[in-house]
């Protein structure tokens, strides 16, 4: 059998907030954020004086600040979390969102706040993804739909954090109603997934892979985990982590809404590398952000 499910404890982080622009002056640990520099000085040459620039050392004309903590996305070590900006291992990934906060080597691969239409590729389903009000939304309920970011080179082993809201679900119980993130995407018949799915009673965590059998037919293999809350409702976070060791890839998947959490783990012999994306099936879902950290393959 290609799957195994165990309970585990993983890093769970996420909170409710709105998209932000440059906020009030905040204390920082890396010279980022508004309030630094002399009046009129523009250290990064982006046309915004250091005194009011939320990233005075990194050019960012848009001044986007997703978590409203006063540090712009371009220089924030955790652009999706209002935190202290602490980075104990000085690898550029803040302690609050670093899968290894005391072990250097991780890096922020990308942060997407969906402020504008994205140049991601719709690889499965109709072209029904819409960007509006700082969200990426897919509204059709009839079939799977998937969109991925095409990176070159592809990310390897990763930690992914996404904020998701399921707005509505298909009434057809024959449809595998789900929403979540895509990892290690190679093509429509080869990828990993982590997210929430409708269960006989309520919902569950689903983590697994799509692969092809001997005849080239796409197959699903997955491991479930309990999630004691409905899929639809308020925003929730979905986190996924891939690990690769001795030819085996392990995907750890978790979700959290308020005090409700759920986890599941899946293992396979497939390669961990591939593109990152989001997917829906039988659900109208919105995505507020996707945050990706690339992790060295040797990390535990």
Q: For residue 25, is pLDDT > 70?
A: no
DSSP result, 17-43: -----S-S----SSS-STT-S-TT--T
- Cβ–Cβ under 8 Å, residues 176 and 239: no
Does residue 22 or residue 227 have the better pLDDT? 227
Report the predicted TM-score, pTM, of the whole model to 2 decimal places.
0.86
Q: For residue 162, is pLDDT > 90?
A: yes
Mean pLDDT of the chain, nearest integer: 88
pLDDT tens by residue, 272-296: 999 999 999 999 999 999 999 999 9
pLDDT tens by residue, 65-97: 999 999 999 999 999 999 999 999 999 999 999
Dist CA 128 CA 113 (whole Å): 19
Q: For residue 258, is pLDDT > 80?
A: yes
Q: Cis bond leading into 142, ω under 30°? A: no
Domains of the chain, CATH where assigned: 20-106 (no CATH), 121-294 (2.60.120.560)
- Cα-trace Rg, the chain: 19
Q: For residue 34, is pLDDT > 80?
A: no
Mean pLDDT of 177-185: 97
**Of 221, 204, 187, which Cα lies nearest the Cα of 263?**
204
Model confidence at 6, pLDDT cuts 50, 70, 90, reads very low
Does residue 200 or residue 100 have the better pLDDT? 100
What are residue 159's DSSP bridge partners? 241, 293
pLDDT tens by residue, 101-154: 999 999 999 999 999 999 999 999 988 999 999 999 999 998 899 999 999 999
DSSP result, 180-234: EEEEEEEETTEEEEEEEEE-SSSEEEEEEEEEE-TTS-EEEEEEEEEE-S-SBSS
Mean pLDDT of 24-46: 59
- Residue 38 has a pLDDT of 58
Q: For residue 211, is pLDDT > 70?
A: yes
Alpha-carbon distances of 83 from 33, 70, 79, 235, 265, rounded to whole Å: 13, 10, 9, 19, 28
Q: Decide: helix, strand or coil at residue 48.
A: coil
- Residue 5 has a pLDDT of 38
Dist CA 229 CA 201 (whole Å): 10
- Residue 201 has a pLDDT of 85
Q: For residue 9, is pLDDT > 60?
A: no
**123-160 burial code (b ≥16 CB/10 A, e <16):** bbbeebbeeeebbbbbeebeeebbbbbeeeebbbbbbb
């Amino acid at each position: 059998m290609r799957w195994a499910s165990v309970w585990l404890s993983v890093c769970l982080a996420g909170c409710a907030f709105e998209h932000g622009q440059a906020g009030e002056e905040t204390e920082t640990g890396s010279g980022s954020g508004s309030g630094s520099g002399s009046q009129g000085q523009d250290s990064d040459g982006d046309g915004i004086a250091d005194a009011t620039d939320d990233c005075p050392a990194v050019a960012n004309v848009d001044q986007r600040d997703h978590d409203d903590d006063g540090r712009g996305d371009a220089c924030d070590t955790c652009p999706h979390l209002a935190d202290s900006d602490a980075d104990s291992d000085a690898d550029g990934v803040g302690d609050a969102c670093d899968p290894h906060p005391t072990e250097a080597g991780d890096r922020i691969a990308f942060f997407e706040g969906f402020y504008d239409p994205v140049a991601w590729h719709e690889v499965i389903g109709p072209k029904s993804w819409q960007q509006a009000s700082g969200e990426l939304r897919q509204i059709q309920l009839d079939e799977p739909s998937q969109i991925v970011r095409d990176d070159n080179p592809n990310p390897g082993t990763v930690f992914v954090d996404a904020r998701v809201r399921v707005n509505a679900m298909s009434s057809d119980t024959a449809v595998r109603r789900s929403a979540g993130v895509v990892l290690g995407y190679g093509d429509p018949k080869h990828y990993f997934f982590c997210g929430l799915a409708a269960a006989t009673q309520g919902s569950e965590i689903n983590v697994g892979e799509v692969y092809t059998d001997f005849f080239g037919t796409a197959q699903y293999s997955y491991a479930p985990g309990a999630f004691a809350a409905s899929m639809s409702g308020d925003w929730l976070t979905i986190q996924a982590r891939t690990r690769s060791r001795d030819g085996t890839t392990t995907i750890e998947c978790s979700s959290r809404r308020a005090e409700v959490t759920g986890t599941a783990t899946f293992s396979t012999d497939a390669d961990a590398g591939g593109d990152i994306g989001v997917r829906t099936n039988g659900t109208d879902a919105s995505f507020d952000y996707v945050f990706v950290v690339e992790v060295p393959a040797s990390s535990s």
